[in-house]
Amino acid sequence: MYLLGPPAVYIHESVMADERYRERAERVVRVLQRPVEPVVYRDEQLPEMIRGGLLAARHPMGTLAEVRDPILLFNTFRFDGGFEERRKAVEAAGCKDVPISLLGSGAYHWANYNLEGDSARHDKVCRPCWRIHLQNGCVHRCQYCPFGGLLVSMVNVEDYCRWLGEIIQRHPWQKTYLLDDDGDPPCLEPEQGTLGPLIEFFGSLKRRYLVVHTKTWNTSWMRGLCHNGHTIMLWSLSGPTQSRLIEPGAGTTEERIEAARVAQEAGYTIRYKFKPIIPVKTWREDAAHAVKLALERTHPDVISLCVFMWMDVDDLKRRLPVDLLDPVYLKAAEESRAETEPTVAKPFPHWVRAEIYDHYLAEIRKWNQDVPVSLSTENFAMWKAFGKKLGMTATNYVCGCGPESTPGLRKLRCHPFRAAIRRDEGIPCVMG
């Protein structure tokens, strides 16, 4: 487990009511950097906790004067149909926009990407699917990320897997399930003991795969699990400058690649996303170093690329250390506000992102001519420009976490937007 010094630890009463759940929380508490006396709480106390600062550090970490380890809060998913009642009670007490994980919900998220109702339908290329969650919050302190300050970790994995099995059965078109795009579950393992049971749950299934998206160095504990090749470990990988100075709590470039090597040695499929690629002044050298090391030491079955995006240039400058950034690219972002305003791919204009992708692709092909390389979360215009170079299109590419991107696949066999049909009637803890 990571060496953590949280300012406070909270444990919901539902955790304390079950011996298995209580032991998971207590094992984590026992190995903290310094002793912390956990506070047991009830739902009725949440408004008071929030007014007392529970969410005070839930801001992009680059905007904070001081970034500390997050508060730890252990909770359970309540599969009881009572979410709306809990939400209304908290809002009536004056607390708005409360993370639904604090209310015992949000286990399974329907992402309607590129379907009706998706506001970025004609801009961002991503696949509709179910995404699954066990945590909300992270310990990695990445400066651009808003998920610091509080780490909510759900510990009733047995109930979770039972309902997840129902979702899997009803959606035969979905083959892979991405875990936690707003958390990093390996950070509390193996002490907490929730990720291991989830990995072994998928290991018991036929042709269904768990995707663990991470920046961790912490994989040695995974060696003995019965995964049966049904867990894919997907690293967000970055160059040395970015990993050390902008993602200071995550594994370094070298540590992430070593963690991937350990996982690969233990039989897990491994993948890399160079995401987000932040164009620091030394980004070209850093890309060459990271790609060479990754492909010398490991054998990923997919690599994806994504330049830093999802915000305007002013927000970027609030979150990131401007003195580290490539001045030519930063100026391009500042001068192309009108061009990039309509797209979620902002702040960097098309030509900047394309130049970066060309460089990464050339570096990858120096060391591996065959590994599939795709774009992640990019727009249709970029796919049109890069489809021939990548040998794939916006509708058949394989990626790190797509719902049909099974191990060893080189192109999709079906149209990802047409195949996705949602059937979750009666399943609790669903969002989206």
Averaged pLDDT for residues 370-375: 98
pLDDT of residue 118: 87
Q: What's the pLDDT tens digit per position in 393-405?
A: 999 999 999 999 9
pLDDT of residue 330: 98
> Residue 131: CA atoms inside 13 Å, Cβ hemisphere, count?
23
Q: Choose among 315, 314, 303: nearest CA to 277.
A: 303
Averaged pLDDT for residues 377-385: 95
pLDDT of residue 119: 87
Provide the β-strand partners of residue 232.
211, 269
Query: To the nearest whole number, what is the mean pLDDT of the chain?
Result: 96
Q: How many other CB atoms are there within 10 angstroms of residue 129's CB atom?
A: 25
Averaged pLDDT for residues 72-96: 96
pLDDT of residue 417: 84
Asked whether the predicted pLDDT for residue 26 surpasses 90, the reply is: yes
Q: Are 273 and 371 in contact (CB under 8 A)?
A: no
One-letter amino acid of 191: E
Q: What's the pLDDT tens digit per position in 103-151?
A: 999 999 999 998 988 888 888 999 999 999 999 999 999 999 999 999 9
Q: What's the pLDDT tens digit per position in 233-277?
A: 999 999 999 999 999 999 999 999 999 999 999 999 999 999 999
CATH 3.20.20.140 for domain 9-423 = no
**Residue ranges of the domains in the chain?**
9-423
- Beta strand 108-111 with 373-375 is unpaired
For residue 233, how far is the Cα from the chain centroid? 12
- The confidence band for 413, taking pLDDT boundaries of 50, 70 and 90, is confident
The structure's pTM equals 0.96
Q: Choose among 224, 226, 126, 221: nearest CA to 181.
A: 126
Asked whether the predicted pLDDT for residue 419 surpasses 90, the reply is: no
- Rounded Cα distance between 258 and 159, Å, is 33
